[in-house]
Structure formats: C-alpha cells, structure tokens
Structure 1
C-alpha cells in the first residue's frame, strides 16, 4: 500500500514538475523582490501612476491577445470558422503556458491544443507556429532597427539597410515553392512530413501579408504600451523607454526564458534601456531596475487577466 502511494506521488511530481519549478521560481522571485525593493514600495509605483493609466495599459495589453487570435483564425479559416471564442480561449491558455513555463516549453502546447480542439495534424500546427514565431522575431528586430537608424542620424545607408531587413520576409516567402519542390526527391515517409509542413504555411502572398500585418500590429501595440509605462516610471529619454520595452519583449521570444520571465524579462528591459541611451549611474540603474520589475509585473498581470477571460470563455458544465 505504501509503495503504491509513493509511486502515485512520484507520477504526480513527474507530470507537474514544470509547474512545480515555476511555482518555486515565482516564490523565490517574490522573496527576492521583498528583500531588494519591498513589495509595498513596488506597489506604490503603480499607485503613483494612477488607476486610469494602469487600467488602460492592461486593457491594451490584453487586446493584443485578440489580434493574435485573429491571426490564427485567418491562418486556418476552414478549421476555425465560427469558432473565434473557442480559439481565443486556446490562445489565452497557450500564452499563459508560454509565459509561465521555462525554456519555451509552453510553445509545445500550441500544436497539442490545436490537435485536441480542431483535430489539426501536429506537423501542420507546428509549421504554422514556427512561421508566426519567425514573424514575431522579425517584427521586434525591425522595431529595434528604428533605434539604430535614429542613432545613425538618418544616414541614407542605415535607412536602406533597415528597409531591406523590414521587407526581407517577402523574397524569403517567394522561396517557399522552390524549396518544397525539392521534397519530391525525398523518400515517401519524409514527403508526408513535408506535406504536413506545407499545409501549415500561408497559401499565398495575401494570406502571408495578413499574418505579417497582424504581427506588426500586435507587437507595435505591446511595445508602445510598455514604452509608455516605462516612461511614466521616469525612464528617460523616451528612446530608453522604447529600448527597454524592446529588450523585455525580445527576451520573451528567445529560447532562454526563465519561468514567468523571472529575471530574464527585467534584465532584457535594463539592457534595452541602457543600449538606447539611459543613464548608467547607480541612481539611474536603481530607477531602471525598479521600473523593469514593475513593467514585468504588469505583463504578468495581463497574462493572468487573460487567463481569467479564458476561464469565463470555458464551456459551462451543467450537472446532470
């Protein structure tokens, strides 16, 4: 009997080890914040900003989830037609898992959720996720390039290089068919895998442009909102606030990602703010550090609000 209970506990720990690591990390992070800043002092920053700006920032951050959902719905119109609410719930759950689980482990939930909710093959959903993540990374890198162009004081070469990078997805997408044509020479087993991957790519330029446009809107809103919040927290100049927002978001799409973004997200904000012209004195670094932690807490709050929305969107279960 005791052996059975021990084995059951071990299985439970194995199944929930990611969440256990995340919970322990967040607990340690809360203790670190209390020792370093004081939770009350951090909350005072939000109080100083005021309810309306914080509520507006949260509203806009949560609204980006609707843009992401539309991107997926437009990507798979046949499978998701008339299922926007269901797809929104899937997107919100995927976002929470992606934020809270370490090392991008939450990404794996998207193809699994798409298979369970819409009977989509894993290869197709995985290929679509890869395309969307590449577009996400490109959008953030292009936004970072704006700062480099401004630093170059409008040099024509810098502008041309930035435009070339901005438009790079278009010629790269044009290579889709030549590359896929080479799959005809592969063994039949691999051809079936390639077929799943092909079905997860945009059908044509219009579909690709819509996905690209939704990506730019999504990250544009998020970066501008976070830059605005950092500016409200006295991160100057505004270029440093913009750089901090970019740094934080870039840390969230890179493979090295701590549970909940603990440590990595604020570090990204600090690095971005310094790279875009923030002061590096001890007082300035202390100010940036506090603002980075508060901005990270705001992002976590938006993820939790999104989770609450997902719960509300869950189908009601009536007792029989």
Structure 2
C-alpha cells in the first residue's frame, strides 16, 4: 500500500494518471499565461458556422481513413464498415490520448480481435500506411513552400514529382526491398520484411491507398491552415507550415498525452519557420491560434469517436437487426 492506494493499481493505471496530470498542468499553465476566456474568444470571432464547417470536414477525413482500411483489408472487413469505422476511431483516440505513440499498438490488436487479421500482418500494413501518411502530409504541407517561391514553375514541378513518387517507386519495390535486405545491417531485416508484408501485391490497390491517403491529408492540412489563417496567423505559407508542424508532432515518438503542449508547439515552430510571429504581438496571436487549433483537433476526434459508437446503433434500430454492419 502507498498512502492507502494499492501499488498494483498505481502501476496498472500509470498511463492514465500521467495523461490526467499533464492535461491538468497544461490547463493551469494556459490559464496562468493567457486565461482561457482570452483563448476561446478566438472562436467567437471566427463564428459558429465556420467552426461547424471545419469540424465537419475533419470528421469526414475519418471516414476516408476507414474506407482506406476497408479497401486494404477487403476480405476481412467485407460488409462490416461500421465496425471498422469504430475500430479506426478507437485507435485514433488512443493515439491522441496516450503518450509516446503507445496508442499505435492498439490497431493490430483491434484488427485481430475484431476481424481476425493476423497480428504480424496488421502491424506490417500499419507501418506501410504510416509511411504513406508521412509522405502525404509532407506533400500537402509542401503547398507552403510553393507559396514561398511565388509559385515558381520549378517548385510546382518538384512538388508534383514528390507527390507521385510512391507510384513511380511501386513497380520496383521488390528489387528495392531485396537490395535493402542485402545492404542494411541484419537488425533492420525484420523492418524490411514488415514493409514487404504490408505493401499491397497489385498496383491498383496501392494506387487507391495512395489516393485516399492524399485526399485525407490534403483536406486535413487545408482545414488546419484555413483555421490558423482565420485566427490571424500570417502569411498564408506560415499557416501551412503550422499545420505541418502540428501534425508532425503527433506522429513523432515524443508525444504528450492528448498532444497537450507538443501539438501547439509544433504549430508554432512550423509557422515560425515561414515567418509567423516575428514580433511579440504576432507571437501571442500565433500561440493562441495554435491552442485553439489543437482544441479543434481534440473536439473532432471526440466527435468522430462518438459517431462511431452511435452510428451502428442507429443503423440497428432502423433495420431491426442486432448488428447493422454485418
């Protein structure tokens, strides 16, 4: 016992306790520096209609992600899209709330328990999809770099080449992976094998996964850049840089519970790299906008999770069946 609390209870719930402690500290810190009324005043200036439109677009990207998984595992998830949507949302909320990317481990476990996908294959597919996510995120945020060059022809050409590079590489993935096995140290062979197992066997499936990934991140980055611009962040290139910085912070290993602190810091760093916050007033505007944008992301994730829990029940009630997704 420790002050009346069993040690095994503390050990079992240490991640939750850490998350709660970090969130409370962050809330107190924001109140002390700016005050929450000052932060939330930004939403009144933006307007309810704009907030609702941004939330709707962000939630729509969750359906795109679920469809990508549905297409990636067509045999296992056939006729069970709503259940898959629920799995992807649970995975998403765990990713957001658990620190150090601990939530990633939930996806292969959920896919095995819900759809019978082997653990190794679920992990391999997630690894490949995360690589596509990173590529699409960089491509979407690359719009900021193009703006910085004044839409120079060479910059647009390089961006198009980068955007389509996965499609150019796919036909050569077998010899590339074989070469990687030969050249890389033995400790990386398992990683190469995982990538090989997670890559679709045919070009059509890979193209669809790539296109859905680009659509997902394209919409998300555009929405986040739009919100930052509405909250006074400028120039426009800095808004795209801020969107990139925030999202990159969420995929790096060092990720605070709920992204508190790390996500807004990523936005500030990304936007500052493109010229935002060059004076005290601009930095204050950027800091408040980054916190509000992070709150928007949290609310959209909670809304998506709520929809994933409610939607199957509504479908069941309408159809009279026990499960509406089977």
TM-score by length of 2: 0.86
Q: CA deviation at 1:101?
A: 0.8
Q: Which blocks of at least 5 consecutive residues in structure 1 are unaligned?
A: 186-190
Q: Is the 2:58–2:300 contact (alpha carbons within 8 Å) kept by the matching residues of 1?
A: yes
> Which residue of structure 2 lines up, in the alignment, with residue 249 of structure 1?
247
1:174 paired residue number = 171
Residues 212-250 of structure 1: CA deviation (Å, up to 9, x unaligned): 110111111111111111111111222222221121112
> CA 1:193–1:49 in structure 2 vs 1: closer, same or farther (change >3 Å)?
closer
Residue from 206, 210, 216 that aligns with 1:208: 206
For 2:62 and 2:171, locate their aligned partners in 1 and report how far apart those are by CA, in whole Å.
29
Of the candidates 130, 144, 147, which is equivalent to residue 147 of structure 1? 144
Q: 2:293 aligns with which of 292, 295, 302?
A: 295
Aligned-partner SS, 2:6: helix
- Deviation of the 1:155 alpha carbon: 4.5
Quote how far apart the aligned CAs of 1:161 are: 3.4
Counterpart Cα distance in 2 of 1:226 and 1:196? 32
Q: Is the 8 A contact 1:257 1:264 kept in 2?
A: yes
Contact 2:141 2:243 in 1 (8 A): no
Counterpart in 2 of 1:28?
25
8 Å contact 1:71–1:214 — kept in the other structure? yes
Cα pair distance change 1:287/1:177, threshold 3 Å: same
Q: Would the alpha carbon gap of residues 177 and 25 (structure 1) be closer, same or farther in structure 2, given more than 3 Å must change?
A: same
Secondary structure, aligned partner of 2:101:
helix
Q: Cα gap change, 1:32/1:12 in structure 2, threshold over 3 Å: closer, same or farther?
A: same
Match of 1:18 among 15, 18, 28: 15
Cα offset, 1:285, TM superposition: 0.2
The SS at the match of 2:238 is helix
Tell me by how many angstroms 1:156 deviates.
4.8
**Which of the numbers 118, 132, 139 marks the counterpart of 1:135?**
132
Q: Does the CA contact (< 8 Å) of 1:86 and 1:313 recur in 2? A: no
Q: What is the CA-CA distance between 1:144 and the residue it aligns to?
A: 3.1
Q: Distance in 1 between matches of 2:156 and 2:191?
A: 40
Contact 2:127–2:198 (CA under 8 A) maintained in structure 1: no
Assess, with a 3 A threshold, how the Cα gap between structure 1 residues 112 and 6 changes in structure 2: closer, same or farther: farther
Tell me by how many angstroms 1:160 deviates: 4.0
SS at match of 2:205: helix
Report the RMSD for the aligned CA atoms in angstroms.
2.9
Q: From the superposition, tell whether residues 284 and 52 of structure 1 become closer, same or farther in structure 2 (CA, over 3 Å).
A: same
- Deviation string 1:278-319 (CA, Å, 9 cap, x unpaired) is 2410010011001101111111111111222233246689xx
Aligned residues: 310
Instruction: Write out aligned runs for 1:1-320 (5 A).
Output: 9-178=6-175, 198-313=196-311
- The CA distance in 2 between the partners of 1:286 and 1:6, in whole Å, is 42
Contact 2:94–2:103 (Cα < 8 Å) also in 1: yes
